[in-house]
């Protein structure tokens, strides 16, 4: 018998993990899959496969904590530099994940969306994502964003070009362009900016992820490799976030 992301007791005892700081949007750089596998004498792709179980754990915790948006950095525009065999394996994982867990995601009111230039992804990846997006479009719980073939510099350049075309065709006045308007040309249009960025794997950089959107986001780094990232570690990040004072440039 399949186990739901949130069992009956958890559902009855569902609590808010938000505290005083609002936590509407969490972004995660899921780093360390390859190193996790290599430490165990396994091929790198084994770490990517193991990382799927961590995605389930984190989605479960995010649903429980009533997070509204969860954005996972799944495949970057720079990841095309990796060996073809590894790329092919990674790009089949969304299909495997959705085939296995989509019914549970639907049962838990999760909505699936993607950000990034998905037109360049393999047909089987696009079809799986399109199907999941269509099946979950009426859900109004957690919005789970998969960032696939995503790069923030590319996103910003495309937004600038689109805005230029709208100005050139008199659909938009240059005088009306401000930060809020520009944000509507990004992949994340309509979403709140991330409150918290989590990066696993010990690295402390953004790796071309949501550069515009993370301007005032709180960062939390851990040495734990993504396949070892537990629900307890996730809650530790949220607990630390609640201890911080967000000033947004003020006092």
pLDDT at 4: 56
Average pLDDT over residues 182-203: 98
Q: Which of 31, 108, 187, 195 is catalytic?
A: 31
203 annotated binding-site participant:
no
The verdict on whether residue 36 carries a ligand-binding annotation is yes
- DSSP letter (8 states) at residue 250: -
Mean pLDDT of the chain: 92
Q: What is the CATH number of domain 18-151+193-243?
A: 3.40.1180.10
- In the chain, DSSP assigns E strands to 25-29, 69-76, 111-115, 143-150, 196-199, 218-221
Q: How would you classify residue 77: left for phi > 0, otherwise alpha for psi between -120 and 50, otherwise beta?
A: alpha
Q: What pLDDT digit, counting tens, does each position of 137-160 carry?
A: 999 999 999 999 999 999 999 999
Report whether 33 belongs to an annotated binding site. Answer: yes
CA–CA dist 169, 166 (Å, integer): 5
Q: Is 152 annotated as a binding residue?
A: no
d(CA 211, CA 145) in angstroms, rounded, equals 16
User: Is 24 annotated in the active site?
Assistant: no
Residue 49 has pLDDT above 70, yes or no: yes
Q: Is 207 annotated as a binding residue?
A: yes
How many helices (DSSP H) and strands (DSSP E) are in the chain? 8, 6
Known catalytic membership, residue 31: yes
Output the pTM of the full model.
0.92
**Helices marked H in 108-230:** 123-136, 152-168, 179-183
Give the residue extent of every domain in the chain.
Answer: 18-151+193-243
What's the pLDDT band for 248 if we cut at 50, 70, 90? confident
pLDDT tens digits for range 220-247: 999 999 999 999 999 999 999 999 988 8
Catalytic-role residue among 13, 79, 88, 145:
79
Say whether 205 counts as a known binding-site residue.
yes
154 annotated binding-site participant: no
Terminal-to-terminal C-alpha distance of the chain:
53
């Amino acid at each position: 018998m399949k186990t739901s992301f949130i069992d009956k007791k958890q559902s009855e005892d569902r609590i808010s993990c938000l505290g005083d700081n609002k936590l509407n949007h969490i972004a995660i750089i899921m780093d360390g899959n390859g190193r996790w596998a290599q430490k165990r004498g396994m091929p790198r792709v084994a770490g990517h496969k193991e990382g799927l179980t961590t995605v389930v754990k984190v989605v479960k915790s995010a649903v429980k904590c009533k997070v509204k948006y969860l954005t996972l950095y799944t495949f970057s525009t720079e990841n095309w530099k990796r060996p073809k065999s590894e790329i092919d394996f990674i790009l089949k994982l969304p299909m495997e994940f959705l085939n296995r867990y989509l019914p549970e995601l639907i049962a838990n009111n999760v909505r699936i969306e993607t950000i990034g230039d998905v037109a360049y992804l393999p047909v089987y990846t696009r079809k799986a994502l399109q199907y999941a997006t269509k099946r979950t479009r009426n859900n109004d719980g957690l919005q789970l964003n998969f960032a696939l073939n995503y790069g923030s510099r590319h996103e910003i350049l495309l937004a600038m070009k689109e805005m230029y075309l709208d100005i050139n065709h008199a659909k938009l006045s240059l005088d009306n362009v401000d930060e809020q308007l520009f944000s509507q040309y990004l992949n994340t249009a309509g979403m709140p900016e991330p409150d918290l960025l989590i990066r696993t794997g010990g690295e402390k950089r953004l790796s071309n992820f949501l550069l515009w959107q993370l301007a005032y986001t709180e960062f939390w780094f851990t040495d734990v490799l993504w396949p070892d990232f537990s629900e307890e570690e996730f809650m530790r990040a949220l607990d630390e976030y609640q201890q911080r004072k967000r000033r947004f440039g003020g006092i």
